[in-house]
Structure 1
Amino acid sequence: MTEFRAFHNTDPPQLLRLWHAAGLGRGAAECLSNDAFEVLIFSQPYFDPEGLIVAEENGERVGFILGGFGANEEGSALDYTKGVICAVIVHPDYRRRGIGRELVRRAVEYLKSKGATEITAGPSGQRSPYLVGLYGGTRPSGFLLSDPLAAPFFESLGFESIGSTRIYQRDLLGQKPPIKFHLVTIRRKMQLNISDDYQAPNWWWLTRLGRLETLHFELASKTGEPAVASATIIGLDLYIPKWEERVIGLTDVFVNEAERGKGYGQSLLLEIARRLQDELITKLELHVDETNTVAWNVAEAVGYYQVDTGIVYQLISR
């Protein structure tokens, strides 16, 4: 008989084995150590053992589900009305026995007991308390289409897709950035500034991305005016065993509103690519919301191509 209980401190080694056995697709880091789970999940200031529910048979962990909460608009604290199912994993030998379904039922019950009025499946954006650095690549962007079991599973439980994210990559090894003649003037008058002491914009960013290696890039005038565009890069070393190459993620890509439509976004992405080519980085990865047509057109214009899609699901009351 399967028993369900909250997380125990002795669980991590077996939960890690479940993670590696689950077949989560290209977007899940592998060959991880217990330290990765400790730093990126268990040591989060808001980690609640009651939100990590374990399925157990005869002393063996056969599945688990990880639930949490999104952040408020300011990114200064949790918003307990925003419940999130971040991961559902059942060992392949124990699937099709209702274990996953029961884990979701119990997770939904837990999230509602803490105040959740909306429950989504697939961590993303302001609703990604866990799995930054572990699932999704640059950042969690829902459950990936390359994770083949996610969509049919959640749809069968009454969840519906409410948004998607395009996941792009760009090859750097042996490839020169494309020549964009209309950007030559920008390159002559602008420079790329790099900082490793970037000040986290809020508590939410610090608890998640602040646990990874990051560098901040700014595109600014050579004459000293404020930056017109910026981005943060994230080391994705935990994915090296899976992808067999060094990939860097780009996030928080931003162009000042008054300067948009002038080519600064393309210039920023191209200058970052040129700089990282010298560091033996083989690929860049960028996540763009499906509705942001301007951003994904900019990405495609400078050599990015889509490799995956992330989907966020919401539990629909019936």
Structure 2
Amino acid sequence: MVVVAYRQFRNFDPPQILRLWNESGLGRGAATGISCDEFDGLVIAQTYFDPAGLIVATTDNRHLVGFVHVGFGADETKSRLCRKTGVICAVIVDPQYRRQGIGRELIRRAEEFLRQAGAETIYGGGADPNDPFYAGLYGGSQPAGFLESDPAAAPFFQAMGYVPFERHLVFQRKLGPGGPEIMCVRMLNAKRQSKLAAATAYEPKDWWWSTRQGRLDSMQLGLMPKAGGSLLARVCVVGLDMYTTSWKMRAIGITGLHVSEHQRRKGYGQLLLDEVCRRVRDEMIQLAEAHAKETDAAAIAVIKSAGFQLVDAGVVYKKAGGAEPSTE
């Protein structure tokens, strides 16, 4: 019988963490083939990374057979962590060592760490504003819980006493030959009155954005009235270079779609998404991805109207009954 020991992260662990990441069948939403330097830049180098929050399972103190990584969400100002909200960002067990209780023990230790740190609520899967790690590495455009294309996630978390809390829909649009060509009267009218422009003045300034999406290549784009004036709509375009190996194509994510309140239902959201797709297609980008909460009917309608198709969904799970408050 194999004896499994548990300990916190050490500096020599990343190569084996990446081995588990690449070999564990996480589904279409996981970037693969990433280097230790890339993993370090997006995960380990986070200012709030705590080695005690990355717990590994080993067979000889060196050979990793599993790990769980937890963190905390942001407070309302998005200027600091909120330790009342704990997040299980990743949990992976080597396929050869599954069904031996390793995953269950990793989650137990992760929950214990979070509770002792003050967590009153624990989520399984990160989504803004409770997504401290793995932006750019899991989920695509942005973390969206655990994806349904990751088949082991749902049964595992439900067996661990977690229930679905919120669902995020994942849409994609192919930009190469055969991709959709969008045009309607409302969008034509919007196109006559506006033009695509940089929207750097609207770049998020909060710490939470800077430390997550801010680590990825991104740019703010918007629609400006041709006659001058304030932005009509804006989005953030995020480079998904980490997914090139997994998806066999270059892709971008479109996040933070916002249409000015008085300009809604006039085709500007649809036009902006289409214009962004046309612009990046000229730069040899072959795929665009956008997310929307399942409850956000307006965002879903705009994304679909711009030629995006539903390809996946992510679920954030919540520990049933909440977490026990820390006694410290």
TM-score, reference length from structure 1: 0.97
- Pick from 299, 302, 305 the counterpart of residue 303 of structure 2: 299
1:70-109 residue pairs with structure 2 within 5 A?
A: 70-109=73-112
**Percent of pairs with identical residues:** 45
3-state DSSP of counterpart to 2:274: helix
Q: Is the 8 A contact 2:186 2:266 kept in 1?
A: no
Could you say which residue in structure 2 is the equivalent of 1:229? 233
- Aligned match of 1:267: 271
- Counterpart code for 1:154: F
Query: Matches of 1:230 and 1:248 in 2, distance apart?
Result: 16
* Corresponding position: 1:160 with 2:171: no
Residue 312 of structure 1: how far off its partner (Å):
0.4
Q: CA deviation at 1:71?
A: 0.3
Give distance in 2, aligned partners of 1:197 and 1:186: 22
SS of 1:112's partner is helix
2:53 to 51, 54, 63: 51
Q: Deviations over 1:223-258 (max 9, x none)?
A: 220101100111111101110011110011111122
- Cα contact 1:198–1:215 (8 A) shared by 2: no
Q: CA separation in 1, counterparts of 2:155 and 2:28? A: 18
Q: State the Cα distance separating 1:177 from its structure 2 match.
A: 2.6
The AA in structure 2 aligned to 1:49 is P
**Counterpart residue number, 2:259:** 255
Q: Give the Å deviation of 1:197.
A: 8.1
With 195-204 and 77-86 compared, the bigger mean Cα shift is at: 195-204
1:171 Cα offset (Å): 1.2
**Other-structure match for 2:64:** 61
Partner AA of 1:256 in structure 2: S
| Corresponding residue for residue 325 of structure 2 | none
CA distance in 2, matches of 1:74, 1:143: 26
Q: What code does the residue aligned with 1:108 have? A: E
Find the residue that maps to 1:294 and give its secondary structure: helix
Residue ranges of structure 1 left out of the alignment (5+ in a row)? none
The separation in 2 between residues aligned to 1:60 and 1:173, in whole angstroms, is 43
Partner residue of 1:16 out of 15, 18, 21: 18
Amino acid at match of 2:303: A
Secondary structure in 2 aligned to 1:240? helix
Matching residue of 1:115: 118
Give the Cα–Cα distance (whole angstroms) in 2 for the partners of residues 21 and 274 of structure 1. Answer: 35
Bigger CA drift: 98-107 or 168-177?
Answer: 168-177
- What do residues 51-81 of structure 1 show as CA deviations (whole Å, max 9, x unaligned)? 0001011231111000000001111110000
Q: Are 1:219 and 2:223 matched, yes or no?
A: yes
Q: One-letter code of the match for 2:69?
A: L
1:176-255 matched pairs, under 5 angstroms: 177-194=181-198, 199-255=203-259
- For the residues of structure 2 that align with 1:294 and 1:199, how far apart are their CA atoms? 23
**Does the Cα contact within 8 Å between 2:240 and 2:252 map onto a contact in 1?**
yes
Q: C-alpha distance in 2, partners of 1:79/1:15?
A: 27
Counterpart amino acid of residue 312 in structure 2:
D
CA deviation vs aligned residue, 1:14-57 (integer Å, no higher than 9, x gap): 11111111110000000110011100110000000000001011
Shift in alpha-carbon separation, 1:197–1:245, aligned structure 2, 3 A:
farther
Q: Is the 8 A contact 2:30 2:139 kept in 1?
A: yes
Residue type of the alignment partner of 2:114 = L
Q: CA RMSD in A?
A: 1.3
Structure 2, unmatched stretches of 5+, are 323-328
Tell whether 2:276 aligns with 1:276: no
TM-score, with length taken from structure 2 = 0.94
Cα distance in 1, alignment partners of residues 146 and 57 from structure 2: 21
